[in-house]
Amino acid sequence: MCCTVLRVDELRKLGGVPCAALGARGCTIYARRPHICRAYRCLWLQGKLDAEDRPDRLGAVLDIVPEGGGALLAIREAERGAFERSERLRAIAERYREAMPVRITCASDALDLAAPARVLLANAEELAIDGDRVVRVRGGREVERTRAAWLERAARRARLAWQRWRVRGYGDGAPAIRSNGA
């Protein structure tokens, strides 16, 4: 799953796209794989999920990521709708949401400015984010609709423009790995 979900700059691979080095039996460049591939440890690899919660079985990769002054559980679906289809993913999210926000996104939307996302909060509260629009839901009922502040929207556009510039030309061929192991 991480071979699909993660963006790997050394391989010019976008997040949400299967790696060109991924073969039928796993990574074809395993001995020479980039540092991010060697160092990456999702919650399952850290041993913080049950053995049967392997990402390829859940349909998503789960990470604790720093955000603002705290942290959140990031659930990155391999395919849109994986969260809704998986009772186990929903149970894991419920377990974490009282302690920290739980953000659910689709890996293929990493560079989409208007990509939808859900943020599950404590006390049965949820944010449905679609572009710069945010709908707050409490107890299954919509309680508020807002639009991100202009400065936040401008900062987000600038950050995404920078990301798009950094990944221009990604996904256009075979892995860009050097044979000398560098």
Q: What is the pLDDT of residue 159?
A: 80
Q: What is the pLDDT of residue 167?
A: 78
Cα distance between residue 126 and residue 141, in whole Å:
10
Query: Cβ distance 137 to 126 under 8 Å?
Result: yes
Q: What is the pLDDT of residue 17?
A: 82
The whole-number mean pLDDT for each consecutive block of 10 residues of the chain, a chain of 182 residues, reads 85 86 90 92 94 92 91 92 95 95 88 81 92 90 91 83 80 44 34
Q: What is the pLDDT of residue 181?
A: 36
pTM confidence score? 0.81
Q: What is the pLDDT of residue 156?
A: 79
Residue 48 CB contacts under 8 Å (≥ 6 apart), including other chains = none
